[in-house]
Structure 1
Amino acid sequence: MDNLRQKLAASRLSFGINVYSGAPAAVEIAGLRGLDFVFIDSEHTLLGADLPLERMILAAHAARIAPLVRVPDSNPTGLRKVLEAGASGVIVPQVHSAAQMHSIIQATKFPPLGRRGGDSSVRTASYGGPGFSWPDYIRRENDETLVIPMAESFEFFDEIDAILDVPGIDAVHFGPADYALSRGIDVDYSMRQPEVRAAMRELIAKCHSRDIKVMLPCAPATAEQAAELADEGGDMLLMGNDLMFLHQGCIDAVGVASAIRKDRA
């Protein structure tokens, strides 16, 4: 698999989609079409650290696309299980403080970087099979798995410097909807609302000064919007989601059906 971390280290703009449906096929299609990563959501869906999520992660590996999983919360056990199942990284919602961020790093990184618990009977350790080596496993997991907190509240921005100074953050995902809700302002996924755009720019500047990447939703998912966000400093762009694509396909189908029915009336 072309390593997403390597792409980011080379400052290659990366593209992905959100997957809400729980369908492994959506993940596979994203990989087959050449996207860089999938953002598998288990915060706003019924997915958990369970067999359906495992199938989605396996589908991502089969299609050679990096699976990033948004976990429901910062519970240490949930973070560890998702990584042990083979996720390329975890996206952690509702991060509000440096203390919480420190706990996330402790749960996702092995010593000496953190205090993640280990077991060789998991996928990422090849189930302790031939050639398994604890030092190699620890080094690979610490080096390659991505930790991506979400900046989606005024609390994050109130403590932004202290949060970003916690060692071990690879990227930050800006959540404009929850940020706007936390501020009591209109939700605007295009991030053109002045206060939302200002927060986005502050996040990019402070992240890049620390060599941390930034993930942004690209709405609308057009070439013009993607170019604008890349020019602003976005490193990872989310180009819509599987449910949106299904909606658009149905809209197109209904449009064709309505035209044919009118012609034949």
Structure 2
Amino acid sequence: MTTHDQPLSLKQRMSGATTFGMNIYSTACMPIEVAGNWGLDFVFIDAEHTALGVDRDMEKLLLAARSAAIHSLVRVRGTLEWDIRKALEMGASGVIVPQVHNAAQMREIIRFSKFAPLGRRGGDSSVRSAGYAGPGFDWARYTEAQNAQSVIVPMAESYEFFDNIDEILAVEGIDAVHFGPADYSLSRGLPVDYRLGNPEVLERLQLLISKCHARSIKVMVPCFPADLDTARRLIEMGSDMLLMGSDLSWLNSAGQQIAAVQQALRG
């Protein structure tokens, strides 16, 4: 807690020890609230690969996160101004942007997500992030706070990102980079392995950690399997933000246990 008894922002949490989150693929509030109950730092709400948009369903999930006192990061559909701005206006702690391949793209992301002088984000006071222009609203304080607190996370999930890594990371305003081993592998025609068993994929992650840390940028990584040994390995490598599975993986794990019981009983 801060000296004013306010919860730490996600960026403040990221400045300290390792942070832990989980992916949300459903449109249900329950897994977000459960994650908050168990003290996770953030949820990664996916609008790229799911039925979710940056719409009323997303608003419901963001409100569930607020109710459960857990921070929310929205993976938007791409480098889209409307998605990025609206996710932040609806109350997300930050955005995760997939398929970032070059510095020009990264500059657009900052332009859409940050107010001047850092970017050119459009503003309106009739949104949740502005407190709906309620008591004490002040434009200067609002835009300054949004620039300071909004967490911006591009994804490193293609060979093009690594071809242009120095130019991308040089763009001001990046808080963390999320490494996507599956899409990186697909971009190179490699077998997909979240365990980082391929030497090239592992080397890419090590390179990303080295270059990000040189610029005080955090690195987010999926922890698979989501167990203590894997988490320790990733932290020892320098990973800062670990994704400990998803609502879907929880359901599949339970389904696997039930199927095993069913099979045993049937002989």
Scaled by the length of structure 1, what TM-score is found?
0.97
Q: CA RMSD in A?
A: 0.9
Aligned to 1:38: 43
Deviation track 1:88-126 (CA, whole Å, cap 9, x = no partner) reads 000000000100100100000000110000000000001
> Aligned partners of 2:8, 2:68: CA distance in 1, in Å?
11
Deviation track 1:52-108 (CA, whole Å, cap 9, x = no partner) reads 100100000110111000001111111000000000000000000100100100000
State the SS of the aligned residue for 1:119.
Answer: coil
- Mapped contact 1:2–1:64 kept (Cα < 8 A): no
> Aligned partners of 1:42, 1:97: CA distance in 2, in Å?
22
Decide which moves more: 149-158 or 129-138: 129-138
> Aligned partners of 2:129, 2:246: CA distance in 1, in Å?
27
> Aligned partners of 1:247, 1:220: CA distance in 2, in Å?
13
Shift of 1:261: 4.5
Aligned to 2:3: none
Aligned to 1:237: 242
Aligned to 1:51: 56
> Aligned partners of 1:176, 1:25: CA distance in 2, in Å?
28
Aligned to 1:89: 94
Shift of 1:191: 1.1
Shift of 1:254: 2.4
Shift of 1:3: 1.9
Structure 1 runs not aligned, ≥5 long:
none
> Aligned partners of 1:115, 1:191: CA distance in 2, in Å?
38
Aligned to 2:255: 250
Asked if 1:3 is matched to 2:18, the reply is no
State the SS of the aligned residue for 2:152.
Answer: strand
- Count of residues in correspondence between the two structures: 261
The amino acid that maps onto 1:7 is R
> Aligned partners of 1:229, 1:259: CA distance in 2, in Å?
36
Shift of 1:258: 3.4
Counterparts in 2 of 1:38-187, with a 5 A limit?
38-187=43-192
> Aligned partners of 2:75, 2:249: CA distance in 1, in Å?
18
> Aligned partners of 1:192, 1:206: CA distance in 2, in Å?
21
Asked if 1:26 is matched to 2:64, the reply is no
State the SS of the aligned residue for 2:207.
Answer: helix
Structure 2 runs not aligned, ≥5 long:
1-6
Shift of 1:2: 3.2
> Aligned partners of 2:180, 2:160: CA distance in 1, in Å?
13
Aligned to 2:199: 194
> Aligned partners of 1:248, 1:225: CA distance in 2, in Å?
17
State the SS of the aligned residue for 2:143.
Answer: helix
State the SS of the aligned residue for 1:138.
Answer: helix
Shift of 1:260: 3.9
> Aligned partners of 1:261, 1:78: CA distance in 2, in Å?
50
The amino acid that maps onto 1:254 is A
> Aligned partners of 2:8, 2:141: CA distance in 1, in Å?
20
Shift of 1:255: 2.3
> Aligned partners of 1:152, 1:185: CA distance in 2, in Å?
13
> Aligned partners of 2:226, 2:15: CA distance in 1, in Å?
25
- Mapped contact 1:79–1:107 kept (Cα < 8 A): yes
> Aligned partners of 2:164, 2:262: CA distance in 1, in Å?
53
State the SS of the aligned residue for 1:214.
Answer: strand
> Aligned partners of 2:53, 2:158: CA distance in 1, in Å?
24
> Aligned partners of 2:146, 2:9: CA distance in 1, in Å?
13
